[in-house]
Structure 1
């Protein structure tokens, strides 16, 4: 997985006994071996787990402290052959006489460093200042472990020799809960994996807040945040510990061991995503203070990606989340159109209604905008323009939809006009590109002229997926006066219309929407056979679910072609073969690069998601750019 940018991390909470380092040593070693057996490369255990967090004044006993130090050396020795960086919590006596609550960083049998807790709480149920000194930036402390001095200080970055992008830093429990956690600076100094060794007791509502802290910090620092919490075995004299362990990446919770459960939080973190996001966001500025770097070494055994890869990254898998997302998108589209209509003082809006998904969504958005403006829906003019490829099904659905929504329906049959035009240019009526595009351009001319008749605006229907593939006729359906669907991908449009259908008032409106959803996607520019659509878009350019997947990973995370292929095979396992995915991925790159000239002059349209192709916003690309280097990477992968 390393070749695709993934590192596996683990957070565990072993069962311990309070003040029993020997017992805890065996439990910790077993936990580390369990995580290493699961191919974890970074393994995080809880705060003070070698002794237990709840030892109280026993922390002032040299017998316990000596036992903890001996146990740590045994843990390091017994895990020396494991290919991992391990973080273990224990109390440490510094040579100055101060006692610190530390994270010990273990690798290949050695204790590389001791990170002291910076923010030591002494409020409510916490009284750590009774025993521990806080760590401070610039401190020069050491501890003797097995007769060897080991540095004790914060502000240290650990970098992997074999993979320099794997950079790790650690903080302890309360450090995350303060206004400015140390991990802020660690991330700005280059740490991509932030680890927290914690002993956070459980109270009502705390797990949810803890989860939001971990996810929020990973988002704010553009990092992976691995959190291991103390659990079973801690004293229950006054507090309860739940062993709540988590791993988050850039705001997303990847893995969780929920409170009072068993197991570990094991996650595959995408370091490539994190570093790409840091490059992309110019406000993520490198910290002025340069941290000391300590190298560690691990091997990366081959393993299968365990991370879930969504087939439809634009569409939330959870139905409740999906419904609320669709409602928000409807609102955003309508708000954009509402502002444009009001600003242009255009009381009429014109749309070409084909009986397909895109124009259906555009019309639904238009009705919502008009309702918000308290304008009559009859001022919306839906124009149906049958021609050579129009089927009875789509024609009837277009007419029925317009009637059910209460808009003005205008029919303009363009067969005669297109026929005359083709004769004028000496066309032989073969079913070539000119034959198809003549219809699309005639429809656009009709719409523009109707809009001029009424002093209105033409609302575009083209979607994000079509823009990516260039599946539009230049200066035909490519053009409008405001494109409400411009940043909505095809896979999401289906759910938007479906969501509207589920809440539609009236059975007839619901029925026509459902039939539109069931109609094959087609531009209907070629004559039907036996009344059925013969020109099916996905048979020509490929499945939209694949192209939307490619588009998302290419634009959102700047993934390399070979990684997109790897992720697509993982996501669509059992649905599409390697050969099919590779074929359409190459086709995607060819079309995406060749069709940029259409995107360079797009009409205005609202941005609703993180991926858009507006030349004025998220995507700046020369129309003459070559796809050669992207396609070259896919050579020989058959």
Structure 2
């Protein structure tokens, strides 16, 4: 539970219809199993103490009374056990029978959550037996204590305030206005559903999308435990299709037609962070409609997380989805440039081409935009500007790429111009300091701008979002352009976009050159090569881009603190980077991110392609003078603590 993670479970026990004594034992066995596996919150199916398919046996007093007795037994057994669990049973109150989920923790019945929407169509005939429960909870005396009875109940964990649990039962989530909407609006971060949803062909697909969609709409964790084998098969079959979802993502799903348990770790801080970011997510405080029950859980650290932590959060994992995303992003980039070109009446573009990944992507996007406008690609001026650090490999690739795309190639060597500039400054050619490097970058930008003026064209920016986050750009050098097509594309995604283009272009020669560019080390090529090979490798200097993109995603998308990002990175990159390496580059990211904001404050226009961006006009309105102290101090404290 440290860092806001909580392990939850959805469990489908083996049951016998109309045998609460047997069923209670099966439920308790699964509670003990879940507790051994670290579960703090467990959900069981609808009416599982009796079985959902009891039919008119629900009119038998002995069945209802025995179920209540078995609930008492479960409550007694739970004393001293740190698990909040929800179990379904029929409940008599004021002469009416209700379908409820009992919430139990540490020897105490916290609430009886009632089913609001009672289905009475097709195979369902619940109104024959059950009465819809009240929205506003009613106090009910049972076994010597007062228990809230109804739908509007929030269970709050006093020592983990991000954990606020509410419940609904089966059909409640299938209707047009589920109770969970009101629950989330009232502050619930986790919704539990005790369910008995029968299986028909294809229904599981809809059920999965329903639960995932509800968790996305409500920005919450959603745990659905479904009835399974053991229910009567007189007319129906129940598949035990348990689901755990979080904000649109299914974290765990049990295979159908088997009984068992699934576990997953919900990220409560991620849920709260997302709600905080979304100004349209309105939390109300309808105290007259809700009862609030408090409980406390022991705070334990989950050593290994039972949830995926993707090391490349900007990149879909599946090939089909990744290809679809790449096509979508390339189109967004090209459409942004198309609009700017059309609006300005510009029919000429100027791209500085280095033979590296970023300029390659910019040229590919520019070619696509020109195709959309039906402007000949010959109107794209691709400029190679060799200088002291240029290698034969990158030079040849730049020239061949331009040729294959049908753009015009122009070579402007800047060696002499930079040498003259150094003489004017009195700067030694042997002094390979920041002036040596940045003078080349600024000279290249001046050449591009002047060529754009000469041709009535537009300079297309090549720098990517990862470089902007780190400030790895020369101010008023490659930092500047007239439209930056890569401004919201992280470096790890640039690779996939170029690879996707290579794989789908249908030209083997173009594919070969693109793959060679992909294999070339990332470098600004501002220092002389060694034996003809690139000597200046960016990732040796600022760190691996896959780490920095990971940091950037969680810092900007969710606002996580350093300790949390460090923990997630340890999980995501286990076996790839050790903790000391991760922490070293995390501190580097924070230092550069804060100190280099002034460069991002004056970025050229460029299209946003994903959920994270650094435009000062859009997603990142950050002061250039913000201090990094508290972030770096927490990172330093992690170094003192050592690896987990």
Query: By the TM > 0.5 criterion, same fold?
Result: yes
1:190-236, Cα deviation, whole Å (9 max, x unpaired): 11111011000011221111111111111111110011011010111
Deviation at 1:480, TM superposition (A): 0.5
Match of 1:361 in 2: 361
Residue 343 of structure 1 aligns to a residue whose secondary structure is helix
**Contact (CA 8 Å) 2:2, 2:301: kept in 1 or not?**
no
- In the alignment, the residues of structure 2 paired with residue 560 and residue 300 of structure 1 have an alpha-carbon distance, to the nearest angstrom, of 19
- In the alignment, the residues of structure 2 paired with residue 460 and residue 58 of structure 1 have an alpha-carbon distance, to the nearest angstrom, of 73
Deviation at 1:163, TM superposition (A): 1.6
Match of 1:609 in 2: 610
Match of 2:592 in 1: 591
- In the alignment, the residues of structure 2 paired with residue 141 and residue 302 of structure 1 have an alpha-carbon distance, to the nearest angstrom, of 36
1:310 aligns with 2:320: no
Match of 1:519 in 2: 520
**Contact (CA 8 Å) 1:214, 1:248: kept in 2 or not?**
yes
Match of 2:115 in 1: 117
Match of 1:403 in 2: 403
**Contact (CA 8 Å) 1:143, 1:152: kept in 2 or not?**
no
Unaligned runs of 5+ in 1: none
Deviation at 1:323, TM superposition (A): 1.2
Match of 2:560 in 1: 559
1:231-267, Cα deviation, whole Å (9 max, x unpaired): 0101111111000111111111111113223432211
Residue 350 of structure 1 aligns to a residue whose secondary structure is strand
Match of 2:85 in 1: 86
Match of 1:418 in 2: 418
**Contact (CA 8 Å) 1:384, 1:412: kept in 2 or not?**
yes
Instruction: Say which is worse superposed, 300-309 or 347-356, in terms of deviation.
Output: 300-309
- In the alignment, the residues of structure 2 paired with residue 503 and residue 23 of structure 1 have an alpha-carbon distance, to the nearest angstrom, of 60
Residue 638 of structure 2 aligns to a residue whose secondary structure is coil
**Contact (CA 8 Å) 2:354, 2:395: kept in 1 or not?**
yes
Match of 1:38 in 2: 37
**Contact (CA 8 Å) 1:42, 1:84: kept in 2 or not?**
yes
Deviation at 1:147, TM superposition (A): 5.8
Deviation at 1:300, TM superposition (A): 3.3
Match of 2:642 in 1: none
Match of 1:65 in 2: 64
Match of 1:444 in 2: 445
Deviation at 1:636, TM superposition (A): 3.3
Residue 266 of structure 1 aligns to a residue whose secondary structure is strand
Match of 2:52 in 1: 53
Match of 1:253 in 2: 250
Instruction: Say which is worse superposed, 430-439 or 302-311, in terms of deviation.
Output: 302-311
Match of 1:301 in 2: 300
Q: 1:363 to 1:46 in 2, by over 3 A?
A: same
- In the alignment, the residues of structure 2 paired with residue 318 and residue 264 of structure 1 have an alpha-carbon distance, to the nearest angstrom, of 26
What pairs with 1:431-580 in structure 2 (closer than 5 Å)? Answer: 431-580=432-581
Deviation at 1:504, TM superposition (A): 2.1
Match of 2:373 in 1: 373
Residue 634 of structure 1 aligns to a residue whose secondary structure is helix
Instruction: Say which is worse superposed, 72-81 or 624-633, in terms of deviation.
Output: 72-81
- In the alignment, the residues of structure 2 paired with residue 389 and residue 415 of structure 1 have an alpha-carbon distance, to the nearest angstrom, of 10
Match of 2:132 in 1: 134
- In the alignment, the residues of structure 1 paired with residue 508 and residue 218 of structure 2 have an alpha-carbon distance, to the nearest angstrom, of 50
Match of 2:622 in 1: 621
1:97 aligns with 2:98: no
- In the alignment, the residues of structure 2 paired with residue 190 and residue 432 of structure 1 have an alpha-carbon distance, to the nearest angstrom, of 55
1:600 aligns with 2:564: no
- In the alignment, the residues of structure 2 paired with residue 335 and residue 99 of structure 1 have an alpha-carbon distance, to the nearest angstrom, of 60
* Equivalent in 182, 194, 199 of residue 197 of structure 1: 194
- TM normalised by structure 1 equals 0.98
1:206 aligns with 2:207: no
**Contact (CA 8 Å) 2:11, 2:45: kept in 1 or not?**
yes
- TM normalised by structure 2 equals 0.97
- In the alignment, the residues of structure 1 paired with residue 558 and residue 330 of structure 2 have an alpha-carbon distance, to the nearest angstrom, of 26
Deviation at 1:79, TM superposition (A): 2.4
1:167 aligns with 2:167: no
Match of 2:329 in 1: 329
Match of 1:236 in 2: 233
What pairs with 1:219-230 in structure 2 (closer than 5 Å)? Answer: 219-230=216-227
Deviation at 1:521, TM superposition (A): 0.3
**Contact (CA 8 Å) 1:160, 1:166: kept in 2 or not?**
yes
**Contact (CA 8 Å) 1:41, 1:300: kept in 2 or not?**
no
Residue 540 of structure 1 aligns to a residue whose secondary structure is helix
1:100-121, Cα deviation, whole Å (9 max, x unpaired): 0000000111211111101111
**Contact (CA 8 Å) 2:391, 2:532: kept in 1 or not?**
yes
**Contact (CA 8 Å) 1:402, 1:408: kept in 2 or not?**
yes
1:217 aligns with 2:214: yes
- In the alignment, the residues of structure 2 paired with residue 273 and residue 139 of structure 1 have an alpha-carbon distance, to the nearest angstrom, of 30
Residue 637 of structure 2 aligns to a residue whose secondary structure is coil
- In the alignment, the residues of structure 2 paired with residue 636 and residue 142 of structure 1 have an alpha-carbon distance, to the nearest angstrom, of 50
**Contact (CA 8 Å) 2:14, 2:259: kept in 1 or not?**
no
Deviation at 1:602, TM superposition (A): 0.3
Instruction: Say which is worse superposed, 457-466 or 505-514, in terms of deviation.
Output: 505-514
Residue 606 of structure 2 aligns to a residue whose secondary structure is coil
1:251-288, Cα deviation, whole Å (9 max, x unpaired): 11111113223432211011111111111111111225
| Regions of 4+ moved over 6 Å | none
Instruction: Say which is worse superposed, 521-530 or 319-328, in terms of deviation.
Output: 319-328
Residue 576 of structure 2 aligns to a residue whose secondary structure is coil
**Contact (CA 8 Å) 1:521, 1:538: kept in 2 or not?**
yes
- In the alignment, the residues of structure 1 paired with residue 620 and residue 144 of structure 2 have an alpha-carbon distance, to the nearest angstrom, of 59
Deviation at 1:143, TM superposition (A): 6.0
**Contact (CA 8 Å) 2:139, 2:146: kept in 1 or not?**
no
Residue 276 of structure 1 aligns to a residue whose secondary structure is helix
- In the alignment, the residues of structure 1 paired with residue 615 and residue 302 of structure 2 have an alpha-carbon distance, to the nearest angstrom, of 39
Name the count of aligned residue pairs.
Answer: 635
Deviation at 1:149, TM superposition (A): 5.1
- In the alignment, the residues of structure 1 paired with residue 16 and residue 264 of structure 2 have an alpha-carbon distance, to the nearest angstrom, of 28
Match of 1:350 in 2: 350
- In the alignment, the residues of structure 2 paired with residue 636 and residue 331 of structure 1 have an alpha-carbon distance, to the nearest angstrom, of 44
